[in-house]
Every structure is written in structure tokens, then in C-alpha cells.
């Protein structure tokens, strides 16, 4: 074996591996030591090796003998993380009872302010370097609240990261008052914005049909009642898409629909405005069609 082979073995393991696991693959300890000396591998803590392109958060968490957790792990799993204003701060899970002193790369005592620490019991065995999706979701619920949890959960369901048994398990591990969120979550939410919108309007007793195909218009994000279309635009609605959106709105209007077009900043940062617009439209019965549309 060689340093090259040691680096390759860590790469094959997904960019992070324990010494024991590498030894099984035939990697010699001396080659790992050489690879670290040549900065081709990092050893954020005793017995764990990562490629140098590992995220700073992963290295930070490993240096505490922990794993990335909560919103940090959520981003890593590809979940939708709501209004991530402190994306710089690593959320780190350590086993209850572990001291959070960094053990390898930063020998100075940790003051406890570098990371947000989570010390919950593992839900399933954490992966090396990050907690599993279910544990991550429970942490987001406790750390960021119900809306962030719900949006992250729907994105996990959509991506197939939480299956039906996983959903049952998750339900058991959240407080009783939050279980309805697990039941209410759908597997087909197109974006976190949609999740948020549906959850917030549900609290007003307003039901949204999502991803509704309308002949001559196309698939719209939501319809309230018979004919009030709500579109939740992401970043991709500029340029030619902007024109397409206007054409859709006009085609919908010709069929008797009314479109309310919202975007990320409005839904996340200016909810009172969105809420009053939707409630006013519903109050004026703009969601009820006199044309008796039968879509």
C-alpha cells in the first residue's frame, strides 16, 4: 500500500473513515500518518481521517468528538433549512457526558461558544461525522421550532430520506403537541416555501390544493377554493421565465382564475402582508368561482 492508496481508501469510504475501517481495507497506519504529514488527509480527531475538502463544519464537529447536527446536518443531507441566518455557526452533536474539548486540531480548551451543542440521545446510530436524518429533524424541531421542522421534514419526505417506518419512528420521538405536523406533512411539496405557506394557511383553516394542473395554463403551485391561484416563486422566475409567468397569469385570468404571485422574501420575511392579502382575497370570495369551473 502507499499514501495514494490510503487517500483513495478514504475517498471510497465517502471522504471520511475510521482507522479500523481503513485497516480492514488493507491500509497501513504508516501510510495514513504520511498522508496527514503531506496534508493529503486530515485527522480531525484520533482515529478518524477525512479528505482535505471536508467541510469546515464537519472538521469542527469531529474535533469535538461529535458529528454535525441540526440545521448544519440538515443542509448536509440536502434538506430545506428555513431562513438560515446563522449558517456560519456549526451545530454539533456530542454524546451526553462527553466533554466538548477539542482533542486534536485545536488543543486550546473550548469555551463552548464556537458551536451550538446538541446532546440528545441518538436516534439510530449516527453516521460518522453527521447525525442521521431522523435525529437531525428532531433537533431542528427543538432548536428552530415547528415551521423549520415541518419544512425540513417535507423536503426529507420528498427526497425519500424518510420512509413510512421512519415517519412512524419520528412521530414517536417528537412531543405530542407536534405529532400532527408529522401527519400533516406531504411527500410532494415542491419547495420549502410551499411547505411554509401550506402550514401557515392551514392555521387559518385555509386548504391549499398543491401542484394543480390547469389545462391551458400548466401546473400551478397552489389553488385555494375553486379559482384563487397562489404561486410561490423561487429564484428562477427572472428573464424568459418572467414572461412565461405573465402569459400563465393571463391565461389563468381568461379562464376565471385569479393569481397571487409571492416570492421567498415575502413568505419568509413579510408574512403579515402575505397573510392579509390571502385573507382579504378569501374574504371577498375570490376563491369561489361563479363560472363553476370543473377542473
CA-CA distance, 165 to 170, in Å (whole number)?
A: 9
DSSP assignment of 184-245 equals: H--S---SHHHHHHHHHHHTTT--EEEEEEETTTEEEEEEETTTEEEEEE-TT-STHHHHHH
Give the Cα separation of 212 and 265 in Å (integer): 23
Task: Identify the residue among 27, 68, 70, 81 touching Zn ion (CB under 5 A).
Answer: 70
Candidates 114-122, 186-194, 197-205, 213-221 — which segment interacts with Zn ion by CB under 5 A?
114-122
CA distance 153 to 264: 18
Q: Does 114 bind Zn ion (CB under 5 A)?
A: yes
Q: Which stretch binds Zn ion (CB under 5 A): 116-124, 211-219, 234-242, 262-270?
A: 116-124
- Specify the residue, 60 or 76, whose C-beta has the smaller distance to Zn ion: 60
Rounded to a whole number of angstroms, the minimum distance from the CB of residue 100 to Zn ion is 7
Show the cell assigned to 287.
Answer: 376563491
In terms of CB distance, is 143 or 266 closer to Zn ion? 143
Which residues are CB-contacts of 146 (< 8 A; sequence separation ≥ 6)? 178, 181, 199
Long-range contacts of 145-150 (CB under 8 A, 24+ apart): 146/178, 146/181, 146/199, 147/82, 147/196, 147/199, 147/200, 148/71, 148/81, 148/82, 148/83, 149/174, 149/178, 149/181, 150/181, 150/184, 150/185, 150/195, 150/196, 150/199
Report the residue number, 149 or 222, with the smaller CB distance to Zn ion: 149
| Nearest C-alpha neighbor of 52 from the set 93, 94, 105 | 105
Cell numbers for 46: 484520533
State the minimum distance, in angstroms, from the CB of residue 70 to Zn ion.
Answer: 3
**Stretches 4-12, 135-143, 168-176, 195-203: which one binds Zn ion (CB under 5 A)?**
135-143
In the complex, the smallest distance separating the C-beta of residue 57 from Zn ion, rounded to whole angstroms, is 9
Total residues binding Zn ion (CB under 5 A): 7
**Smallest distance, Zn ion to C-beta of residue 153, A:** 15
> Which CB, 60 or 226, lies closer to Zn ion?
60
Distance between CA atoms of residues 84 and 147, nearest Å: 13
First to last CA, the chain: 66
CB 198 within 8 A of CB 189: yes
Q: Which is nearer to Zn ion, 23 or 114 (CB)?
A: 114
Contact set for Zn ion, span 203-232 (CB under 5 A): none
The verdict on 115 binding Zn ion (CB under 5 A) reads yes
The yes or no reply on residue 178 touching Zn ion (CB under 5 A) is: no
Among 43, 45, 77, 91, binds Zn ion (CB under 5 A): 91
The stretch near Zn ion (CB under 5 A) out of 5-13, 88-96, 227-235, 266-274 is: 88-96
Site for Zn ion in 35-64 (CB under 5 A): 60
Stretch that binds Zn ion, among 37-45, 128-136, 141-149, 266-274 (CB under 5 A): 141-149
Q: Does position 143 bind Zn ion by CB under 5 A?
A: yes
What is the Cα gyration radius of the chain?
Answer: 24
**Measured from the CB of residue 158, what is the shortest distance to Zn ion in angstroms?**
22
Shortest Å distance, C-beta 59 to Zn ion: 10
Interacting residues toward Zn ion by CB under 5 A: 60, 70, 91, 114-116, 143
Amino acid at each position: 500500500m502507499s499514501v495514494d492508496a490510503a487517500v483513495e481508501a478514504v475517498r471510497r469510504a465517502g471522504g471520511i473513515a475510521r482507522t479500523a475501517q481503513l485497516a480492514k481495507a488493507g491500509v497501513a497506519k504508516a501510510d495514513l500518518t504520511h498522508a496527514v504529514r503531506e496534508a493529503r488527509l486530515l485527522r480531525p480527531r484520533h482515529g478518524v481521517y477525512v479528505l482535505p475538502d471536508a467541510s469546515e463544519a464537519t472538521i469542527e464537529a469531529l474535533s469535538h468528538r461529535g458529528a454535525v447536527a441540526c440545521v448544519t446536518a440538515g443542509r448536509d443531507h440536502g434538506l430545506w433549512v428555513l431562513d438560515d441566518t446563522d449558517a456560519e455557526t456549526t451545530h454539533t452533536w456530542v454524546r451526553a457526558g462527553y466533554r466538548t474539548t477539542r482533542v486534536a486540531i485545536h488543543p486550546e480548551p473550548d469555551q463552548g461558544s464556537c458551536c451550538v451543542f446538541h446532546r440528545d440521545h441518538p436516534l439510530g446510530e449516527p453516521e460518522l461525522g453527521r447525525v442521521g436524518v431522523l435525529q437531525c429533524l428532531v433537533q431542528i424541531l427543538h432548536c428552530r421550532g415547528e415551521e423549520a421542522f415541518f419544512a425540513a421534514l417535507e423536503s426529507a419526505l420528498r427526497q425519500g430520506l424518510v420512509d413510512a417506518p421512519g415517519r412512524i419512528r419520528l412521530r414517536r420521538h417528537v412531543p405530542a403537541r407536534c405529532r400532527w405536523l408529522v401527519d400533516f406533512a406531504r411527500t410532494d411539496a415542491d419547495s420549502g416555501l410551499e411547505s411554509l405557506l401550506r402550514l401557515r394557511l392551514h392555521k387559518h383553516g385555509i386548504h391549499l390544493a398543491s401542484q394543480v394542473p390547469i389545462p391551458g395554463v400548466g401546473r400551478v403551485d397552489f389553488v385555494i377554493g375553486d379559482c384563487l391561484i397562489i404561486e410561490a416563486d423561487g429564484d428562477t422566475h427572472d428573464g424568459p421565465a418572467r414572461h412565461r409567468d405573465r402569459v400563465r397569469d393571463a391565461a389563468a385570468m381568461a379562464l376565471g382564475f385569479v393569481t397571487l404571485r409571492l416570492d421567498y422574501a415575502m413568505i419568509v420575511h413579510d408574512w403579515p402582508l402575505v397573510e392579509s392579502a390571502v385573507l382579504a382575497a378569501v374574504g371577498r370570495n375570490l376563491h369561489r368561482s361563479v363560472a363553476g369551473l370543473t377542473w
